Structure 1
Amino acid sequence: MQSVINGPLEVAALNEGSLALTRNTQGLLDSRYQQLRTQNNDSGTFGMFGGYAGQSADSQFNPSLGLGDGDLTTNSLNIGMDYQLTERWMMGLMLSGADDKQDPTHNFSYRTRGWMATAFTGVKIADNGWINGDIHYGSMSYDDINRSMKLGPTTRTERGETNGKQIGGRVTAGWDFPILPVLKTGPVAQYSWDYSNIDGYEEKDNNSTSMRFGDQTSHSQIGALGWRLNAQLGIVNPYAQVTYDRQFGDDTYTATGAIKSTRTRFSRTTGEQDNDWVDMTLGANVQITDNIAAFAAVSQTTGLDSGEQTSYNAGISARF
């Protein structure tokens, strides 16, 4: 039966759930990094910030294997704090939470609930250089995993749930050359890695189509090179960035599955995922008062066979 053969391929899409929370978390943190670089806080300054981050995409998971189009919509809430240890060095912590429903194919959907903790730091080099680094750990619950199939005139849905974890980090560096008193531009480079693990699970019913699935792991390594443009106009400080991103980690996912009533199992490997794309970001920081500021950014990817992605975030911060 084709629904059984495709089962492991559909379940492999669970890997996207943990990666989505990571992308949201890193997007909002990038906005906070940008804000801190423009504020020039004194040593001893304590900051708090919070905001919303999300993304939407027309996800075509496994397009080469004909599993159909899907939708990806994610949302996360984030709160964090940072402390300026010296005039050039700051450190901070951020907590993020998500509760999302994803439909990677027209026959498969699931809900992702989870949290992620991130520790981050930033160092200014000379007058124009900077390095940021962050590490994160997340715990995920995959609820309402629904795998549907046609059986003659009726539709049967097999249901399950499982858990997963993710750990990763990034290093980003840039140099801003002043070309006008209020305008800087320069290169940016980034390396990021993520490792995720999803526990195996059994579907709840004992039908002829009910399956069990093995543990899954995935490893992502992404390198990025690009260019930035920053304006410091006083109250409103816009910026733009374009990067070329290259995936050096896993370009396929493999999952194992079996009908629950049998002792044998089999593996399926997805088609190749995207391994390079372009990411474009527009954002701005707004200094509302001397101690309260807001930030927002929108990012768009191009060159993805699996569906273009739009990410967005907005937040507010205070310093003391």
Structure 2
Amino acid sequence: MKKSIASLIFASCFTTPLFAFENVISFGDSLSDGGALDLFGSKSRYIAGDNSLLYNEILSLNFTNKDLIVSTAGGNNYSLSGATASNTPLLIYKTEKQVDEYLTRNNGKASKDDLYIFWAGANDITTDVEMSLLNLNFGNLFNEGVNYQLSDAPQAVARQVGTLLDKGAGLVVVPNLPNAGLSPWTATALFGFSQMLLGGNILDLPSLYLIQDNSLRQQGNVYGEEQRQEAIITSLSKVLNNYGLRLPHDLIANVYRTLLSMENRLTQQFNHDLESSLSGLKGNIAYVDSYSLFQEMIDDPLSYGFDNILVPICQIGVGAPFCNQAQPSWHDDQTYLFSDWFHPSPEAHKIIAQYITALVNAPLMVSQLAEPVQSLMLGQNSFLMTQLSLFRQNRLNSRPYQFFGGYQGQRVAQNSSSKQPREQSNLGVIINANEYFAVGGGFSIGRANNLSLGPYLHTDYTQKTFSLFAQLLLGKSWLSTQVSVGDIKFDDITRTIPLGKALRKERGVSKGNHLSGSINAGYDFAIGEQISHGPHVSVLYRKGKVNGFVEKSSTSSSMKFSRHRFSDSYLSTGWHFSWKNSRINPFFEVNYIHPLYKKESSISGSLKSTGTSFTTPTKEKDSSNINVKLGTSFNINNSTQAFITADFPKIRNERSDIYYSAGLNFTF
């Protein structure tokens, strides 16, 4: 596949991956087969279009920047069309053999750095149904229970996923099965089963399929499952009429809907047992609800960019490997949901890839809620140290009490993940116990609206923080410390998921808290009576938590996330300068900031509908940075002083965030 095509896809359709995998390893059937088999001069790629990409090929480019090559050409896509997970006798290709081949090539080990995809089971249901019909065993076909009773295929999928996890796989993506009844397959299968059971001529099937295809294309666009079913029933009547069978409309509808109900029930039973079996495994499993995703696209196709959900790009009865732009069986007049009788169209594959990308990204994306908590602690420490510095360097008199109040904000860098400014108000008091020692306390409240933590994560929050601080003066040396505690409420966490033309928004709420403290020491040299300068050193400790939360909707992409804990510590050394006169007192300092340690708990995430879960790697440790802080105070009168400051952290990494403050001090 050409990289230019992939680049165009990514530019228009995809969330950027928050981390990279080394490789994508894929197992499955025709939904994932990149063309491993030769089929009468064509490759086993069940997707319309010579340059179209399957969902797993898109994911490989998205997460690894590598093409996903079929295993028969030495690559990592082991999927084979027609493969089953169970040992059904009707088909020869088995996903278990795919896993065995992969492990054999890799010395019996899987890699924690690779992304694994395992999507299988559709062929199992098909062959299980065919075997039941041939054996006239209808009991299990119409079983009303929750469990799949035709074979152990769901458990076989879980066993093979378990093998990968046991061998060291870091993350396995496991989609459940979409409902085959939503595809054109059901109507075509009805003809096939009828011919098989009634002894009809199978050679008649192509002409029947063509009549149905023409009938459905003439009906125009339909929207939603009810309209789709009625259109198909009408087409079936036309086909049977042309075949010389004039059956009542209600009879055709009942037969079709009975088959449809059976398919839906079997798929739900399969998915139930698959999810239940996967939930019993240990390891990272990203369970994908393709069943609900396809139902959502059927219910509202225009929102996702589809014009036609009735018929495929390829004429009904013509498989995607044998259909291309040069043949009359190809249709490109609309955007279709399906390539052929069962397989998704290129546009649907893109949406599947978008969905899986958003799912895999989600835990690490949500971990970015720690960023405003960490910024609050950093900004609070900067503000309090400014107050103590002003009190130390520019005291107006020896009055014992000083009140301060001010506005504090943060303007983030252009290349930062966060885009909106934040603001908070501060009040505090400093008590000068004697000429050497001062203590104080402060309170701040703040908020941010529609804070962007990346292109696909936004939140509102409100916060409050309480602080205690002290300062000791010993000649020209000084020692200060502060401790702050607070809580934060995330009122509207919004995770945006691009799905074709749709921008789905998943919303939730959460709370968090934080504790920070610092110890600071320095020495002041004097140059005359107005200028002082000197070295200083400080250690800042931060610890925070964001509670787990569950997103509110019940869509296929709605997720739940675990609690996130984080802590870090920084050593800062630098030099400060200040100039004191009767009216204006500017100051400036430069610091070298070095991280001492950083610790984060992994966030686990999963769809709300599953007991499986997975974690993704957290961010890398911070590097050392240069910090610049400047400001000035203005003496208004003998008891009142105004101040303004600007703090530029992480200059070395070209992130010019600005913590700024302005306010008044009153002494009495």
TM-score by length of 1: 0.92
Residue identity opposite 2:570 in structure 1: I
Q: Indicate which of 517, 523, 533 corresponds to 1:185.
A: 533
Residue 286 in 1 paired to residue 641 in 2?
A: no
Gaps of 5+ in 2: 1-355
* Alignment partners' CA distance in 2, 1:71 and 1:247: 24
Change (3 A) 1:157 1:72: same
Residue identity opposite 2:395 in structure 1: Q
Aligned to 2:611: 263
Aligned to 1:8: 363
Aligned to 1:124: 473
How far did 1:169 drift? 0.4
Q: Deviations over 1:246-288 (max 9, x none)?
A: 1122266632111110001101123314321111111112111
Aligned to 1:199: 547
Q: Deviations over 1:78-126 (max 9, x none)?
A: 0011111111111111001111132111111111211000001111111
Q: Indicate which of 248, 273, 276 corresponds to 2:596.
A: 248
Residue 46 in 1 paired to residue 394 in 2?
A: no
* Alignment partners' CA distance in 1, 2:384 and 2:637: 21
Higher alpha-carbon deviation: 156-165 or 248-257: 248-257
Q: Matched residue of 2:362: which SS?
A: helix
How far did 1:26 drift? 2.1
Residue identity opposite 1:108 in structure 2: L
Q: Deviations over 1:193-219 (max 9, x none)?
A: 011011101000111100000010001
> Is the CA contact (8 Å cut-off) linking 1:236 and 1:284 kept in structure 2?
yes
* Alignment partners' CA distance in 2, 1:53 and 1:284: 15
Aligned to 2:447: 99
Change (3 A) 1:129 1:27: same
Q: Matched residue of 1:13: which SS?
A: helix
Q: Indicate which of 407, 410, 421 corresponds to 1:55.
A: 410
Aligned to 1:79: 427
> Is the CA contact (8 Å cut-off) linking 1:175 and 1:187 kept in structure 2?
yes
Aligned to 1:111: 460
Residue identity opposite 2:536 in structure 1: V
* Alignment partners' CA distance in 2, 1:304 and 1:256: 30
> Is the CA contact (8 Å cut-off) linking 1:138 and 1:167 kept in structure 2?
yes
Higher relative contact order, chain-length normalized (CA < 8 Å, sep 6+): 1
Aligned-pair identity in percent equals 24
- Taking only aligned residues, the RMSD between alpha carbons, in angstroms, comes to 1.6
* Alignment partners' CA distance in 1, 2:365 and 2:533: 44
How far did 1:57 drift? 1.5
Gaps of 5+ in 1: 62-68
Q: Matched residue of 2:581: which SS?
A: coil
* Alignment partners' CA distance in 2, 1:216 and 1:59: 26
> Is the CA contact (8 Å cut-off) linking 2:565 and 2:600 kept in structure 1?
no
Q: Matched residue of 2:647: which SS?
A: strand
* The structure with more strand, counted as a fraction of residues: 1
Q: Matched residue of 2:412: which SS?
A: strand
Higher alpha-carbon deviation: 256-265 or 71-80: 71-80
> Is the CA contact (8 Å cut-off) linking 1:32 and 1:295 kept in structure 2?
no
Q: Matched residue of 1:23: which SS?
A: helix
TM-score by length of 2: 0.45
Aligned to 1:23: 378
Residue identity opposite 1:117 in structure 2: F
* Alignment partners' CA distance in 2, 1:209 and 1:308: 35
Q: Matched residue of 1:34: which SS?
A: helix
Residue identity opposite 1:9 in structure 2: L
* Alignment partners' CA distance in 2, 1:223 and 1:195: 15
> Is the CA contact (8 Å cut-off) linking 2:564 and 2:600 kept in structure 1?
no
Higher alpha-carbon deviation: 196-205 or 15-24: 15-24
* Alignment partners' CA distance in 2, 1:309 and 1:276: 16
* The structure with more helix, counted as a fraction of residues: 2
Q: Matched residue of 1:39: which SS?
A: coil
How far did 1:168 drift? 1.4
Q: Matched residue of 1:274: which SS?
A: coil
Q: Deviations over 1:36-79 (max 9, x none)?
A: 1121643x611111001111113756xxxxxxx54152111000
